Amino acid sequence: MPLKLPDLFRTLSNQTRLEILTMLMDNYLTATEIATLLQIDLSTVYRHLQQMKKLGILTSTHLHGVERFDFSSPHIFRMLDEAITFMSELKGFSPIVCSEGICSYYLGGELDEIEPDQLLDMRGESCPVPDIQARKTLRKMNPGEILLVIVDYPLSGERIPASVQKEGHEFLKKVADNYGDIKIYIRRRENG
């Protein structure tokens, strides 16, 4: 039975499935690896993976008796990316340029020893929004500039450093405070 558009959007409307897809954006993973990273039950992860595979969103390959999952098409990734861009524009997400102490003022004077050039506040957003928004912001920055991303979603705190490093940016530091906020400092790569 071919996938229908309402089925696709209904499938993507589930936060756990979005988190699974986020994990697969950069990696070719097993259900066990995803369950460990998301800290949820393996049977739940496997059920979501099989549903997305049945609908044609994912594909899998068996290597040495282990099933690994991946996107079936780059269109799914681009669709998620465009949806996040749309939501970001609606919500007015844009980085703050840190000139003349603006970022220090924004954070109530709580800057670490690293002075960022831009600040992206993604508190209140869950994966994959902070991850994709951080990568988009870095692409627009000048080489060598430092981006401070603030998140309060633990998975984003893990994913952002890994994903930006895969794009060649330098992960400088991650600081978690007592309120559940995670500050991630990233230096924009020098070339490209």
Active site residues: 127
How many helices (H) and strands (E) are present in the chain, helices listed first? 8, 8
Pairing type for strands 146-151 and 182-187 reads antiparallel
Amino acid at 64: H
Report the chain's C-alpha Rg in angstroms: 18
The interaxial angle of helices 74-91 and 15-26, nearest 10 deg, is: 120
Q: Rounded to whole angstroms, how far apart are CA atoms 37 and 31?
A: 10
